Amino acid sequence: MLDKPALRALPAERYQCGNWETHRVNIDYHVAFDHHWYSVPYQFTPQEVEVRATAATIEIFHRGARVASHARSHVADRATTVTEHRPKAHQRYLEWTPSRLVDWAKTVGPATADLFERIIATKRHPEQGYRSCLGILRLGKQYSAQLEAAARRAMALEACSYQSVKSILQCNLDSQPIEPAAQPTAGCRLARPDRRSDHRR
């Protein structure tokens, strides 16, 4: 009874045990935890943060201050992203959808549409695929007549990336016959798709 005056009200929410891990923020401003990716404000790339995980939430701290909080997801190889965590330039990609990009690609030709679908499908985060596709869209302004042939060649070589299409166009490889074992011309090596979680095109 002597302690009663010092007692405080119980917390409104039940205490949840949490697991703590230290991670470095990826170049795409996401942190991996239990095979899922959670965003943090892009300014924290590539700093170390502490992740506190409970059964229901993921909290991310930097130097003791909480910088992000998410509902925990158990869907593997997917990302939970808060729009405000993206740089302003990346937020512009939200105006685009996969179907809108592919519809534009269809106006060029079926190979370009297939290329866009492949690029989008192989990226962990949608904005990575959007940047590559929008880069190819810009190439189309300069190489409108050759873009479909370049896309066909990129698909045949399994070099489905912005950099590969750019190399094909710059080296005039779009007009050459496609062979299964075709090798890029010296000095015009094609860029293979980067499957790591960075932001290279």
Same domain, 108 and 81: no
Distance CA 79, CA 31 (A): 9
Check residue 35 and report its DSSP letter.
T
Mean pLDDT of the chain: 83
pLDDT tens for 153-182 read: 999 999 999 999 999 999 999 888 876 544
Specify whether 97 is located in the same domain as 166: yes
Q: Kindly give the residue spans of alpha helices, DSSP state H, lying in the chain.
A: 88-91, 98-108, 110-121, 126-142, 147-156, 162-170
Same domain, 68 and 97: no
Give the pLDDT confidence score for residue 24 in this predicted structure. 94
In a domain, 183, yes or no: no
Contact indicator for 161, 194 with CB cutoff of 8 Å: yes
Mean pLDDT of 20-35: 91
Q: Which amino acid, 48?
A: E
Please report whether residue 121 resides in a domain. Answer: yes
Q: What's the confidence (pLDDT) of residue 190?
A: 53
C-alpha pair distances (Å), 63 with each of 39, 50, 52:
17, 8, 13
Q: Which residue, among 131, 109, 110, 111, has the nearest Cα to 120 in the 3D structure?
A: 131
Beta bridge partners of 57: 71
Q: Which of the listed residues 85, 106, 137 is the one where a domain comes to its end?
A: 85
Residue 14 lies inside a defined structural domain of this protein: no
Q: Which pLDDT tens digit goes with each residue over 133-159?
A: 988 988 988 998 999 999 999 999 999
Is 120 inside a domain boundary?
yes
